[in-house]
Amino acid sequence: MSNDNCQKVDVSRRKLLAGGAAAATAMMLGSEASASQINNAISWDKTFDVLVIGSGFAALSAAIEARRKGLDVMIVEKMRVPGGNSTINGGLFAVAGSELQKEEGVEDSVELMVQDMMAAGRGINHPELTRAIAAGSPDAFKFVVECGAKFKPKLSWLGGHSVARTYLTHNASGSGIVRPLVKTARREGVVIRTECKMLNFITNDDKRIIGIQVKDGYRFPDEETGIVKHFKARRGVVLASGGFSRDTKFLSAQDPRLGGVIDSTNQPGATGEALRAAFRIGAVPVQLSLIQLGPWASPDEQGFGVASMFNIQSGFRYGIMVERATGKRFVNELADRKTRADAMIKNVKESGEPDYPIILVDSVGAKACPTLDRCLEYKVVHAFDRLEDLASHYQIPAEGLIESVTAYNEYVKNNDDLELGKPVSTATPIIKPPFYAVRGWPKVHHCMGGVEINPSAQVLHSETFEPIAGLYAAGEVTGGPHGASRLGSCAITDGLVMGRIAGNSVARNDAI
Amino acid sequence: MSNDNCQKVDVSRRKLLAGGAAAATAMMLGSEASASQINNAISWDKTFDVLVIGSGFAALSAAIEARRKGLDVMIVEKMRVPGGNSTINGGLFAVAGSELQKEEGVEDSVELMVQDMMAAGRGINHPELTRAIAAGSPDAFKFVVECGAKFKPKLSWLGGHSVARTYLTHNASGSGIVRPLVKTARREGVVIRTECKMLNFITNDDKRIIGIQVKDGYRFPDEETGIVKHFKARRGVVLASGGFSRDTKFLSAQDPRLGGVIDSTNQPGATGEALRAAFRIGAVPVQLSLIQLGPWASPDEQGFGVASMFNIQSGFRYGIMVERATGKRFVNELADRKTRADAMIKNVKESGEPDYPIILVDSVGAKACPTLDRCLEYKVVHAFDRLEDLASHYQIPAEGLIESVTAYNEYVKNNDDLELGKPVSTATPIIKPPFYAVRGWPKVHHCMGGVEINPSAQVLHSETFEPIAGLYAAGEVTGGPHGASRLGSCAITDGLVMGRIAGNSVARNDAI
C-alpha cells in the first residue's frame, strides 16, 4: 500500500474524521504515520485529558474520579441542563451489605445481590459485570454520601430482591444524587459543557480513540443548530450517554411494539445517537433487543410521573393489582419487572385497546408512599371510602374485587400467598379506608443492551474482541450486566460503580 | 475543512479503505471529490456489476436474479466449496398456497403463514419482511424447481404451522436446492470465487458502497493465509453471509450460555465477520440477542446430524418426548421451537449436568423418517422390541414411561391431547414394535438478528435509518422477519425470497 509522506497531513486529517477509521488502520500496515504526527494534523478546538459523553450517574462519577487523579476533564451534554435521565430517576439505590442493613438486621452479601440480578436477568447476564456492580455498591454509596447525597433512614424491599437492600434519596428522586455530584464535579474543576451534541468518534492510526466531533451550541431537538467542533482527549473518552428509550426508530427495530403505542419513562434526550456512533467505530453491539418495561407506570400521566413511586413503595408491596374486567389478581405483585410487565400487557379489551389493570392499597399501606400528596393532587391516584366505590369508579365487578381483597388479606394473615406466591411477610392487610387506587400500564424504562465492555469498563472491538484503546463506557449505554431484565434500583448502582471504574481506567491510560 | 486537491488521490485511496468512511463523509461537506474521481484512485483487482458475499440460498438466488438482468456477478465465499450452511440445512421449505397443498386439499394463504410466523416470533417480527417472505414463497418454489431442484411428493406438517405447507427436497437436505442453484448460476455465467474472505466494505464520498476488501486464497480457518485484494461493485454489494452461530465470542456477548456448552447445528464457517463489518459501516443492528435453539437435535452426534430429521419427521409428530428422570411428557412436542427448547434445557440433573430428554416413536411413526437407516447405522437412534427395554437402556422409570405412552395413545384415539394440547389429528398411537428412541438436546440453530433491511432488501444506516446506497442484504444475516423465534422450514423461504428481491434491487441501482 502506498505511503506517500508528502500527503500525510491531509490524509491524516481526513482519515481521523472517519467514524470507522479504526477499521482502516489494520489495512494500513505499510503506513508509518505515528499518532503524534496525526495529532498535529487536526485542528482541535479544545483539548482535555478526558472527555465524558453524557452527564448522568455514570458520567458524573467517571468525571469526578478522573479529575481526582489530577486530570483535566470535560463533560459533554447535549441537553440544556446536566443530569440526563438520572435526574428523573426514582432515587432508589441498591447496596449489598450496607450500614443500614446492619442496623435493620438484614443479612445480605455481594453473592446474594448477584444471584438476584442473575435471576431477574434470566441467567443471560454477563456475570463478571453483574459481580463488579454488586461488589462496588457499598463504596459507591459512600462516594455519593461524601459528595453530599442524603438518603431516607429506612431501606426499601423491592420486587425481585431477596432482602431489603434499597436506599431512597431524601427527595425520592435521582436528582438527590445528581445535584450533589454536579456540585462536586464543578467545585473540583470538571468542566460541564451543555448544549454540546456528540456526533462521531475520532481515531488515530493505532486504532485509538483520540477525540470526538460535536455540535457545539446545539439546542435539542433542532438539528439545524450548533457549530461543528473537534475536541481532543489525551487519555481517552468515556461514553456514558445512557439508553435509547426515546430513540423511536432504533427502538422499533429491536421491538416493533415499542415504536409508539407504549410510552417511555425517560427524558426526551435519550435518543441513542452516541451509542449508534460507537457501533460505527467497532463497538460490539450486545443484547439490544432486551428492553425493559417498567410495570409500575400509569397511563394517566406522562413519563415516570408520580404514580410509579406510589406503586413501587406502596401499591405493589402493601396492595394488590387486579384485572379491570374481573377484579382478580393475575401476577405476583413483587415478581421482577419483566414478569409483571409481560403479564400486564396481556390485558387487552376485545377491541385490542389496553384494559389497564388497577393497583390498590389501603391507608396503612399508602403511608409508605412519599409522594402520595402529589399523586392525589395530580389526580393520578384516587382515594375511596369503600371498595365498592373504587370498583364502581374503575368499572371493576365489585364482587370479584372484594373476593380478591378478602383472599389476599387471608394470605397476609397466614404469611402465605397461596395464589401467586408473593412474599407477604412484611405486608399488611387491605382493611383501613381510605383505599387508594391507580390505573397501571408498563412504559419503556431501561435498555439492557448497549456496547460490550469488560470489568475495567473498556469497550471491546467487533473485529478483535479486544479493548478499543482510549474508549471506556459505563451505565445504561453498556450491555450485559442486567441480562434479560434489570432488577429495580440497580441502575443507580450500575451507573455509579461502573462510572467510577471507567474514570479510574481512563486515568491509567497513557496520554497521547 | 481543508480541501487540498493536490492530495486528493492518496486521501481518497486511504479513506476508501476505511470501514466506516461513510460516517466521515457527512463531515466532509467541504470536499469536492466526486465518486468518479475516487473510483479512479483505488487500484481495483477486479470489477463486477454485482458482488455477492456468501453462497447459500440467499446469495445464489440474488446472484442468479442479477445475472438474469444481464449483469456481471461474482459470488465471494470464504470456504472451499460453495453452499455455506444451506448445504447442511434439512431441506424443508415452507410455501404458502402451493400446488401440492391444492392436491392434498390443504387450505392455506399468505395471511395464515404470516400469522404463524408472527405467533412463533412472539409478535416482535418486522411484519413487512415477514409478509414479503410469505408472499414470495410460491414464486421462489417455482424458481428453484425450474433450476432443477426436486421435492418429495408429500407435504410435511411441522410444529407451529397451522397447516401442512412444507416441501422436503428429494434428498432431505438443503443441498437438494443448493446444487441446482450452483449449477444454474455457473451455467448462466455467475463467477463463484471460493476461498475468498470478505474483510471490509469500501465506500465513496457519497456514502455509497462501491466494493469490498477481501483475502483471496484464504484457507479457513488459517488467518495467516490469503492475499488482500480489492473488488469493485459497479451496481452494489449483496450481503448474504448467513448467521453467526459459530461466532463464539459474538454469540457469548448476546447470550453467555451459548458460548460453548451448547453445540451448534451450523457449519464451522458461520463466523459472522461480514455481519460485524457491516455494523462498522453503519448497518443498524437488529435483535441480535434472539438466537434460536433447534429442539430436535441430539447430544450423541455433532451438528445437525441425522437425528434432527428423525425427530422432525417422526419423533415429535408421531411420538412423544419424556423426561429421563420420570418418563413423563413435559411439553407439546409440536409447539414452536422456542417453547420446546426452553422446556428441554430446564431438564438438568442435581449436578447441573444436562438430563437429556428421550424422544420415542413406534415403527409406524418411524416410517415417516427418511433417514432412519442412517440414524440406526450411526447409533444415534436405537431400536427396542419392548418399551421396558427402551426404559432400561435410558434409565427411565419404566412405569412412568408406560403410563405416559398409555395416556398419549388415549389422547390420539380421542383426538384430544388433554395434557399438553398437541395437535394429534394426524398422529398414530405408539403401539407397534420396534420402538425407536433418541436422546434430545437443543443446539444453536438460527440467528434471528442481523442487519436491518427494508422490503426491497436495502440495508439501513444507523445515522439516518435510510438505505445505505449500494448495499443489499438477504437471508440469515438480516434481522427482523422471524422475531423472537423462526418457524421451522421458513429459513429456505427467507433466503430464496429475499435473495431474489436483493438481486433485483441491486440490478435496478445505477452503475458507477
Last residue of a domain, one of B414, B441, B468: B441
- Asked whether residue B273 falls in the same domain as residue B399, the answer is no
Cβ B236 vs Cβ B472: under 8 Å? yes
**Cβ–Cβ gap B24/A22 under 8 Å:** no
Residue B301 has pLDDT above 60, yes or no: yes
Question: Considering CB atoms only, which of B13, B213, B255 is closest to A2?
Answer: B13
Residue B1 has pLDDT above 80, yes or no: no
Question: How far from A506 is each of A436, A474, B76, B98, CA to CA, in Å?
Answer: 49, 12, 41, 61
Cβ B139 vs Cβ B462: under 8 Å? no
DSSP 8-state secondary structure symbol assigned to residue B346: T
- Asked whether residue B94 falls in the same domain as residue B165, the answer is yes
**Cβ–Cβ gap A125/B256 under 8 Å:** yes
**Cβ–Cβ gap B282/A199 under 8 Å:** no
Dist. CA B8–CA B5, nearest whole Å = 5
Residue A30 in domain: no
**Cβ–Cβ contact B279 with A under 8 A:** yes
- Asked whether residue B134 falls in the same domain as residue B277, the answer is yes
- Burial state string for B121-150 with b = 16 or more CB within 10 A and e = fewer than 16: beebbbbebbbbbbbbbbebbebbeebebe
**Cβ–Cβ contact A125 with B under 8 A:** yes
Q: Give the residues across from A94 on adjacent strands.
A: A166
**Cβ–Cβ gap B276/A14 under 8 Å:** no
**Cβ–Cβ contact B18 with A under 8 A:** yes
pLDDT band at B260 (very low <50, low <70, confident <90, very high): low
Dist. CA A31–CA B394, nearest whole Å = 63
Residue A314 in domain: yes
Chain A contact set for B33 (CB, 8 A): none
**Cβ–Cβ gap B18/A17 under 8 Å:** no
Residue A46 has pLDDT above 90, yes or no: yes
Q: Indicate the range of A23-27, A470-474, B148-152 predicted with least confidence.
A: A23-27
**Cβ–Cβ contact A290 with B under 8 A:** yes
Dist. CA A52–CA A63, nearest whole Å = 7
Q: Tell me the per-residue pLDDT of B412-435, one tens digit each, with 9 for 90 and over.
A: 999 999 999 999 999 999 999 999
Interface mutation target, options A462, A463, A482, A485, chain B, most CBs of B under 10 Å:
A462
Residue B13 has pLDDT above 80, yes or no: no
pLDDT at residue A349 in the model = 84
Dist. CA A80–CA A73, nearest whole Å = 19
- Asked whether residue B245 falls in the same domain as residue B391, the answer is no
pLDDT band at B40 (very low <50, low <70, confident <90, very high): low
Chain B residue at shortest CA distance from A16: B24
Cβ A227 vs Cβ A235: under 8 Å? no
Chain B contact set for A18 (CB, 8 A): 15, 18, 20-21, 23-24
What is the residue-averaged pLDDT of chain A?
91
Q: Which domain CATH number covers B481?
A: 3.50.50.60
pLDDT at residue A17 in the model = 42
pLDDT band at A2 (very low <50, low <70, confident <90, very high): very low
For the annotated catalytic residues of A, the residue numbers are 337
Total number of residues shown for chain A: 512
pLDDT at residue B123 in the model = 87
Chain B contact set for A254 (CB, 8 A): 286-287
- Dihedral (C-alpha) B312, B314, B319, B321: value to the nearest 10 degrees? -30
Cβ neighbours of B405 (radius 10 Å): 23
pLDDT at residue A205 in the model = 83
Mean pLDDT value of segment A366-395? 96
Using left for φ > 0, alpha for ψ between -120 and 50, and beta otherwise, residue A269 falls in alpha
SS3 B363: helix
- Asked whether residue B472 falls in the same domain as residue B431, the answer is no
Question: Considering CB atoms only, which of A7, A200, A287 is closest to B254?
Answer: A287
Cβ A207 vs Cβ A20: under 8 Å? no
Cβ neighbours of A302 (radius 10 Å): 12
- Asked whether residue B204 falls in the same domain as residue B304, the answer is no
**Cβ–Cβ gap B7/A2 under 8 Å:** no
Q: Which of B229, B266, B226 is nearest to B89 (CA)?
A: B266
HSE-CB for A93 with a 13 A CA cutoff: 39
> Among residues of chain A, what percentage have pLDDT more than 70?
92
- Asked whether residue B337 falls in the same domain as residue B386, the answer is yes
Using CB atoms and an 8 Å cut-off, which of residues 323-382 of chain A contact chain B? Answer: none
Q: Tell me the per-residue pLDDT of B378-408, one tens digit each, with 9 for 90 and over.
A: 999 999 999 999 999 999 999 999 999 999 9
Using left for φ > 0, alpha for ψ between -120 and 50, and beta otherwise, residue B194 falls in beta
pLDDT at residue B24 in the model = 37
Contacts of B261 (CB under 8 A, 6+ apart): none
Q: Which domain CATH number covers A366?
A: 3.90.700.10
Residue A421 in domain: yes
Dist. CA B134–CA B139, nearest whole Å = 10
The vertex-B445 CA angle with B443 and B448, nearest 5°, equals 135
pLDDT at residue B14 in the model = 40
pLDDT at residue B207 in the model = 84
Tell me whether strands A458-460 and A467-473 are parallel, antiparallel or unpaired. Answer: antiparallel
Cβ neighbours of B315 (radius 10 Å): 29
Regarding predicted confidence, which is higher, B119 or B351? B119
Tell me whether strands A435-439 and A443-447 are parallel, antiparallel or unpaired. Answer: unpaired
- Asked whether residue B280 falls in the same domain as residue B315, the answer is no
Residue A344 in domain: yes
Interface mutation target, options B230, B461, B462, chain A, most CBs of A under 10 Å:
B462
pLDDT band at B466 (very low <50, low <70, confident <90, very high): very high
- Asked whether residue B269 falls in the same domain as residue B305, the answer is no
Contacts of A494 (CB under 8 A, 6+ apart): A58, A133, A474, A475, A476, A481, A482, A486
pLDDT at residue A7 in the model = 31
Q: Give the residues across from A458 on adjacent strands.
A: A472
Last residue of a domain, one of B441, B459, B480: B441
pLDDT at residue A385 in the model = 98
Cβ A12 vs Cβ A42: under 8 Å? yes
- Asked whether residue B72 falls in the same domain as residue B210, the answer is yes
Q: Tell me the per-residue pLDDT of A399-456, one tens digit each, with 9 for 90 and over.
A: 999 999 999 999 999 999 999 999 999 999 999 999 999 999 999 999 999 999 999 9
Residue A306 has pLDDT above 60, yes or no: yes
Dist. CA A283–CA B247, nearest whole Å = 16
**Cβ–Cβ gap A14/B17 under 8 Å:** no
Amino acid (one-letter) located at B276: R
SS3 B134: helix
The vertex-B22 CA angle with B21 and B28, nearest 5°, equals 85
Q: Cell numbers of B313, please?
A: 419427521
State the nearest Cα–Cα gap between A385 and chain B, in angstroms.
42
* 3-class SS letters over A271-339: CCHHHHHHHHCCECEECCCCEEEECCCCCCCCCCCCHHHHHHHHHHHHCEEECCCCCCECCCCCCCHHH
Q: Which of B344, B288, B286, B291 is nearest to B315 (CA)?
A: B344
Mean pLDDT value of segment B455-472? 97
Alpha helix stretches (DSSP H) within A147-229: 175-187
**Cβ–Cβ contact B51 with A under 8 A:** no
Residue A429 in domain: yes
Question: Considering CB atoms only, which of B2, B256, B288 is closest to A285?
Answer: B288
- Asked whether residue B465 falls in the same domain as residue B363, the answer is no
Residue B56 in domain: yes
**Cβ–Cβ gap A20/B15 under 8 Å:** no
Dist. CA A196–CA B407, nearest whole Å = 69
Residue B163 has pLDDT above 70, yes or no: yes
Question: Considering CB atoms only, which of A7, A10, A289 is closest to B289?
Answer: A289
Number of domains in chain A: 1
> Among residues of chain B, what percentage have pLDDT more than 70?
92
* Domain that residue A323 falls in: 296-441
Q: Cell numbers of B493, please?
A: 423461504
Alpha helix stretches (DSSP H) within B125-246: 127-146, 175-187
Most confident of A175-179, A339-343, A346-350, B367-371: A175-179
Chain A contact set for B277 (CB, 8 A): 23, 463
- The pair phi, psi for residue B219, each rounded to 5°, is -120, 105
Residue B451 has pLDDT above 90, yes or no: yes
Q: Tell me the per-residue pLDDT of A452-505, one tens digit each, with 9 for 90 and over.
A: 999 999 999 999 999 999 999 999 999 999 999 999 999 999 999 999 999 999
Residue A473: enclosing H or E segment and its boundaries?
A: strand A467-473
Residue A365 in domain: yes
Interface mutation target, options A128, A280, A281, chain B, most CBs of B under 10 Å:
A280
Interface mutation target, options A118, A254, A461, chain B, most CBs of B under 10 Å:
A254
Residue A319 has pLDDT above 90, yes or no: yes
Chain B residue at shortest CA distance from A462: B276
Dist. CA A128–CA A111, nearest whole Å = 12
pLDDT at residue B430 in the model = 98
pLDDT at residue A37 in the model = 36
> Among residues of chain A, what percentage have pLDDT more than 90?
84
Residue A378 in domain: yes
State the nearest Cα–Cα gap between A124 and chain B, in angstroms.
5
A with B: how many residue pairs have Cβ under 8 Å apart? 173
pLDDT at residue A303 in the model = 86
Residue A97 has pLDDT above 90, yes or no: yes
**Cβ–Cβ contact B219 with A under 8 A:** no
pLDDT at residue B352 in the model = 77
Using CB atoms and an 8 Å cut-off, which of residues 437-476 of chain A contact chain B? Answer: 449, 452, 462-463, 465
- Asked whether residue B259 falls in the same domain as residue B307, the answer is no
Last residue of a domain, one of B406, B441, B476: B441
HSE-CB for A26 with a 13 A CA cutoff: 17
Q: Which of A265, A275, A270 is nearest to A221 (CA)?
A: A270
Cβ neighbours of A22 (radius 10 Å): 28
